[in-house]
Chain A
Amino acid sequence: MAQPKNIVSTSGLSIGYKTKKTAVAIAENLTFQFGESKLITLIGANGIGKSTLLRTLTGLQKPLSGDVFLNGKNIQEYSASDLAQNLSMVLTEKLPPSNLSVFELVALGRQPYTNWIGKLAPLDIEKIIRAIQLTEIEHLAEKKHHEISDGQLQKVLIARALAQDTPLIILDEPTTHLDLLHKVSLFKLLKKLTEETGKCILFSTHDIDLAIQLSDEMVVMTQGKVVQGQPCNLIEQGVFNSLFQDENIVFDSQKGKFLFK
């Protein structure tokens, strides 16, 4: 069997902020390998630097040292439009008010491929319809984006990222604001997408129980240490116990979930 292709790889990556005089490192010497068809979750306590890591992996922020490779090419060397054909995102920010329909919103994902005025070619329409089918939002296509629920909107935004047709999709906390039912269905949808499209999907989340059960691999950020691995291996290594620096929260490795004292 052929070795699965790596979509993202990093070497000796240090992330953090540069102020005028000093560089503040959040995490150092990070080595990741994200392969195709993999659902990867990024977890860590608030303020640990998940967003900084995502910003660095998406090329929005320069690493303090080391490199991020996307499809074998350094992410800093991509032009804006080339990057848009290799990496799509689902962000946490609210959409500005507009009268965009769901179909039009998904269609915007084709912008990196359309001509100067944004005309959709038959291939673009095909990709849009495929993205809508994969996320099962056919019944919403004609609705305005402000008429649908949060859970539905999240699916629409994922469809938009799918239409962008990139090997890597990064989502920033897509399950926030959703109830348990919709969280589970979103996890399952993302899982299904990695299997059916071969894409690598990386997303940050606070739903650790779900992440442990449903993701292929996890990146766990703790104070001073960032590890990547399969959920069962990470449990064996006892990584989750150091996730929260609080003695009232303990990870039960038998049950695979957190207990509170």
Chain B
Amino acid sequence: MLSLGTLLLFFTNISLGSVTIPFKEVFHSLTGGEVSKQAWEYIIVNYRLPKAITAILAGMGLSISGLLMQTLFRNPLAGPYVLGLSSGSSLGVAFVILGSSFLPPILNSVLLSSYGIVLASTLGSFFVLLMVLIVSQRLKDTMAILIVGLMFGSFTSAIVGVLTYFSSAEQLQKFTFWSLGNLGNLSWTSIVVLTIAVSLGLTMGIFSIKPLNALLLGENYAKSLGINYKKSRFVIIFATSILAGSITAFAGPIAFVGLAVPHMAKLLFQTSNHFILYWSTLLIGASIMLLCDVISQMPGTSVTLPINAITSIIGAPVVIWLLIRKRNYS
């Protein structure tokens, strides 16, 4: 039923926007049939379809990394960003956008292109990822990794703050736009890269289902069940880093989805079995992201709201509502 809902939302997402394209035409276009208006075909192939695919990838990837983090850290407040990855990418982008005035003009134009920003953001999150992985191999205590992630987060946002202080209004605006997230503007090449990265992370997630279930009993029981704890922890952190890092690089720091969607799955299915949670989180993540994108496009108007604001506006009440309805949640 969930997958049907996702499919329906996928078509709705493509159909709605500043120009409404009838469902039938969307279906025809996607299945290779005739479309009555050339412009619609163009909009679908070059704008709506890439955006919908990005929404699905981002929704699935962020939600799964949230699920992985919540179980690994035994903390319901954990999300993909507890490892400080988005702060890392913000730092990279901040250096490029806000620090560009310190660079020679030729470098400037290269760096400020959309590829420059993606590159900076990828490098930023990759840097934090490396640090987290190095630290996590050295630390015995898993909770300490959580704190290290938060420290990385505060550290990088402080540097971003300093950079902000010294930059012009124009630069600030550009940075703010990036930090609000954007699912559109991805070329087909970028989508291929993002798909590979997200698939890799999701596959590693599937291989973590069994150790994640064992971790529900705590670290020591998991070890007594023959789980190689250090290796599993490494795989889980690596998967999260790839997912959150690549998505933040291409779509900006999208808030809340990673934290909220796993809770929606847990509340809806009343289970902790990751075999069920994994697939439900995947589908709910994709659906929520598509839904948020539809709303942010404000169908019928030419206004587009930032996706980052919508995810929180939609997500927060849903989680609260679910919590109140199912009071026995723990």
A contact residues vs B (CB 8 Å cutoff): 58, 80-85, 87-89, 91, 93-101, 104-105, 108-109, 111-112, 114, 116-118, 144, 146, 164
Query: Number of residues in B with C-beta < 8 Å to the partner?
Result: 28
Give A85 to B330 CA distance when docked, in angstroms.
31
* Structural contact, B266 and A112, CB atoms closer than 8 A: no
Query: Any chain A CB within 8 A of the CB of B177?
Result: no
Closest B residue by C-beta to A78 = B226
Proximity bits, B69-81, A CB within 8 Å = 1, else 0: 0000010100000
User: In the complex, what distance in Å separates the CA atom of A164 from the CA atom of B225?
Assistant: 8
Q: Given A99-B270, A99-B271 in contact, is the A80-B214 Cβ separation under 8 Å?
A: no
Q: A99-B266, A164-B225 are in contact. Are A93 and B275 (CB under 8 A)?
A: no
Given the interface pairs A117-B210, A118-B210, the reply to whether A99 lies near B223 with Cβ below 8 Å is no
Name the B residues within 8 Å of A96 (CB-CB).
74, 216-218
Give every chain B residue within 8 A of A144 (Cβ-Cβ): 328, 330
- Complex Cα–Cα for A85 and B225 (A): 8
Q: Are A91 and B220 in contact (CB under 8 A)?
A: yes
Dominant secondary structure of chain B at its interface with chain A:
loop
Complexed CA–CA distance, A85 and B275 (Å): 23
Residues of B whose CB lies within 8 Å of any CB of A are 74, 76, 206-207, 209-210, 213-214, 216-218, 220-221, 223-228, 266, 270-273, 275, 328-330
User: Which partner residue on chain B sits nearest A79 by CB separation?
Assistant: B226
| Cβ-defined partner of A85 (8 Å) among B209, B218, B226, B272 | B226
Task: Among B210, B220, B329, B330, point to the contact of A116 (Cβ < 8 A).
Answer: B210
A109 to B330, CA, bound (A): 23
Question: In the complex, what's the smallest C-beta–C-beta distance from B133 to chain A, in angstroms?
Answer: 22
CB <8 Å contact, A118 and B213:
yes
The 8 Å CB contact of B272, one of A58, A91, A98, A114, is A98
Sample 23 A-B pairs with CB under 8 A, ordered by A number.
A80-B228, A81-B226, A87-B224, A89-B221, A89-B224, A91-B220, A91-B224, A93-B218, A94-B218, A96-B217, A98-B272, A100-B272, A104-B272, A104-B273, A108-B213, A108-B214, A108-B225, A111-B214, A111-B227, A114-B210, A117-B275, A144-B328, A146-B330
How many angstroms from the CA of A80 to the CA of B214 in the assembled complex? 14
B216 near A109: Cβ-Cβ < 8 Å = no
The residue in chain B whose Cβ has the minimal distance to the Cβ of A94 is: B218
Q: How far is the CA of A236 from the CA of B319 in the complex (A)?
A: 65
Given contacts A85-B226, A99-B329, A116-B207, 8 further A-B contacts (CB under 8 A): A84-B224, A89-B220, A89-B224, A94-B218, A98-B330, A99-B266, A99-B330, A111-B226
Contact with A117, one of B76, B209, B217, B228 (Cβ below 8 angstroms): B209
Total number of residue pairs linking A and B with CB closer than 8 Å:
82
A146 contacts across to B, CB distance below 8 A: 330
Say yes or no: A93 contacts B220, CB within 8 Å.
yes
CB-defined contacts of A58 to chain B, threshold 8 Å: 224
Given A84-B225, A99-B271, A100-B272; A111-B210 close (CB under 8 Å): yes
A108 touches B217 (CB 8 A): yes
Q: Give the Cβ gap from B227 to chain A, nearest Cβ, in Å.
A: 7
Nearest 4 pairs between A and B by C-beta? A84-B226, A81-B226, A118-B210, A98-B272
Measured between C-beta atoms, what is the minimum distance from B199 to chain A in Å?
17
User: Are the CB atoms of A112 and B221 closer together than 8 Å?
Assistant: no
A residues near B221, Cβ cutoff 8 Å: 89, 91, 95, 108
Contact present for A112 and B226 (CB under 8 Å): yes
- Contacts A84-B224, A105-B217, A112-B225 given; indicate if A97 touches B210 (C-beta within 8 A): no
Complex Cα gap A156–B71 (Å): 22
How far, in angstroms, from A96 to B75 measured CA to CA in the complex?
9
A108–B227 alpha-carbon span in the complex (Å): 12
Cβ B225 vs Cβ A111 within 8 A? yes
CB distance from B224 to the nearest CB of A (A): 5
Chain B residue with minimal CB distance to A96? B74
- Taking CB atoms, residues of chain B closer than 8 Å to A100 are 216, 272-273
CB distance from A12 to the nearest CB of B (A): 26
Q: What is the CA–CA distance of A87 and B271 in the complex, to the nearest angstrom?
A: 28
Q: Is the CB of A83 within 8 A of B209?
A: no
A127–B209 CA distance with the chains assembled, in angstroms: 22
CA distance A166 to B231 in the complex (A): 24
The answer on a CB contact under 8 Å between A118 and B220 is no
Closest partner residue, chain A, to B231 (CB atom): A80
B226 touches A83 (CB 8 A): yes
Contacts of A109 in B (CB 8 A): 225
Q: Which of B76, B216, B220 contacts A108 (CB under 8 A)?
A: B216
Asked whether, in the complex, the Cβ of B209 is within 8 Å of the Cβ of A118, the reply is yes
Question: Closest CB of chain A to B214's CB: distance in Å?
Answer: 6
Contacts known (A111-B214, A117-B210); A99 close to B226, Cβ less than 8 A: no
Q: Hey, which chain B residues are within 8 Å of A116, CB to CB? A: 207, 210
Q: How far is the CA of A96 from the CA of B221 in the complex (A)?
A: 11
Determine the residue in chain B with the shortest Cβ distance to A146: B330
| Complex Cα gap A124–B60 (Å) | 32
Cβ-defined contact, A95 with B226, below 8 A: no
Cross-chain contact B272 with A99 (CB below 8 angstroms): yes
Closest chain B residue to A166, Cβ basis:
B224
With contact pairs A111-B210, A117-B206 given, residues A97 and B330 touching in the complex (Cβ less than 8 Å): yes
Q: How many whole Å from A14's CB to the nearest CB in chain B?
A: 24
